[in-house]
């Protein structure tokens, strides 16, 4: 089990920005496909951004052009830069391995976009 700790969420106004961090305990995350997921109240958890072990990225259509996923291998951290935030981005955001290596869900970090 890789320890993953999400942080960086908070309350932000529409149009604002946040950077979420996913700090890992094991360097193995540097070669795994990693994803940021979110779950809004009453909705299913969805994958919003993914970065492969090789550095390729993919995004959900709803966040494309606004969110950027990146990786810092030295610090074993995956980031999600969120710009132009909208109320519909409000959710609990989770970091996890993407695919077969996915483990149990952690605490997540709350993002609330509201005036």
Whether pLDDT at 1 is above 90:
no
Average pLDDT over all residues of the chain? 97
Rounded CA gap, 90 and 16, in Å?
12
CB atoms within 10 A of CB 85: 22
What's the average model confidence in pLDDT over 78-99?
A: 98
Kindly report, residue by residue over 5-48, the tens digit of the pLDDT.
999 999 999 999 999 999 999 999 999 999 999 999 999 999 99
Residue 101 pLDDT grade (very low, low, confident, very high; cuts 50, 70, 90) = very high
Which pLDDT score, from 0 to 100, does residue 34 have? 97
């Amino acid at each position: 089990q890789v320890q993953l700790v999400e942080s960086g969420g908070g309350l932000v106004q529409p149009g604002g920005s946040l950077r979420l961090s996913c700090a890992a305990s094991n360097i193995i995350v540097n070669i795994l496909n990693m994803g940021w997921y979110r779950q809004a109240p009453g909705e299913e958890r969805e994958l919003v951004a993914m970065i492969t072990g090789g550095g390729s990225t993919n995004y959900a259509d709803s966040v494309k052009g606004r969110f950027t996923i990146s990786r810092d291998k030295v610090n074993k951290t995956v980031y999600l830069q969120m710009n132009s935030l909208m109320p519909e981005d409000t959710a609990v955001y989770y970091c996890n391995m993407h695919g077969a290596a996915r483990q149990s869900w952690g605490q997540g970090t709350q993002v609330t976009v509201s005036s």
